[in-house]
A = this chain, B = another copy of it.
Amino acid sequence: MKSRLMSVLGLVVFLGLGLGCCSKCEQGSVAVQTDPLPSWNEGAAKQSIVDFVARVTDEAGPDFVPASERIATFDNDGTLWAEQPMYFQLFFAIDRVKALASEHPEWTTEQPFKAVLEGDMEALAAAGEHGLLELVMATHAGMTTEEFEGIVLEWLVTAKHPKTNRPFTEMVYQPMLELLEYLRANDFKTYIVSGGGIEFMRPWTEAVYGIPPEQVVGSSIKTKFEYRDGNPVLIRLPELDFIDDKHDKPVGINSHIGRRPIAAFGNSDGDLQMLQWTAAGDGARFMLYVHHDDADREWAYDRESHIGRLDQGLAEAEQRGWTVVSMKNDWERIFP
């Protein structure tokens, strides 16, 4: 009887470990041997992901990586959600200018605000990087961090993408959601490392991607601690702190994570240094580019695009054998 009980116990413990017994686990286990990436078509790209995960999680294998070192970093714009016809954060800035216009009569004559209020995208483009920075400072600074969080969340509830008429948080890539979940189920810690605003992303990444605020790295403006009516607050200042793009993505990773990722995912030349930095570490490595080549279901752009240009990165990916995902061929569906 005892041995019978023990084998039942053994079976249950085995099943328990294999089936995600522990509700406290941040990163649950896969319930059954179904395809964890159902929106990925069978092919080299999908296979390369599954092979990599198998290698680094095989305790007996030569490429095993302890769970604490399984860091995976993802760009956001164009990698986890769409970025056309312009970065979604720019839609937010434009909507904020419109919402705040009545308090700023001078905006009717001052660029780049005049261009925004008149819907003159050509004039807005002509204002260049400096104009965009002015837009961001006028709309992202001057309030507490908590107030800004509320503004972002309120906007996400009402704003719609101009082409699809869907909320922006539904313009995320279903195959990438599955990939994030699959990596976490294999004890990876998933991070966003984006040129987008860190405090623009943090309010919603946990609900949308399962990525908590502390695992979001992005561009930032400075904040200042002060007391308002005796209560401590952080005020967002109209002063750049950090642009998390290109050669500064590894800087942001080092600052926030303090470890080198073993896997990195991007879609543009702005992600190239992050992929190079990831590739330069010891042991098993995985680098992946999402290639926007599906004009029917999403957008098609690469070497000549102003947004999300993928030129040098594509050449290096092909040369070094990194995974390049064809959205058209490798993804069975794009959006959820």
A320 interface hit (Cβ, 8 Å): no
Chain B: minimal CB distance from A191 (Å): 9
A20 to B17: give the CA distance in the assembly, Å.
11
- In the bound complex, residues from chain B placing their C-beta under 8 Å from that of A68 are 206, 212
Copies in the complex: 2
A29-B24, A67-B24 known; A251+B224 contact, CB < 8 A = yes
Interface size range on A against B = 35 or more
Residue of B nearest to A8 (CB): B8
Contact of A213 among B8, B29, B257 (CB under 8 A): B257
A85 interface hit (Cβ, 8 Å): no
A156 interface hit (Cβ, 8 Å): no
| B17 adjacent to A280 (CB under 8 Å) | no
A123 interface hit (Cβ, 8 Å): no
- Interface residues, chain A, CB within 8 Å of chain B? 5, 8-9, 12-13, 16-17, 20-27, 29, 67-68, 71, 145, 187, 189, 198-199, 202, 206, 212-214, 216, 220, 223-226, 231-232, 234, 247-248, 250-251, 254-259, 273, 276-277, 280
Inter-chain pairs besides A20-B22, A231-B280, 18 sampled, C-beta below 8 Å = A17-B21, A17-B23, A21-B21, A21-B22, A22-B22, A22-B24, A26-B67, A71-B214, A198-B255, A198-B258, A213-B257, A214-B214, A216-B258, A220-B255, A224-B251, A225-B247, A234-B250, A256-B256
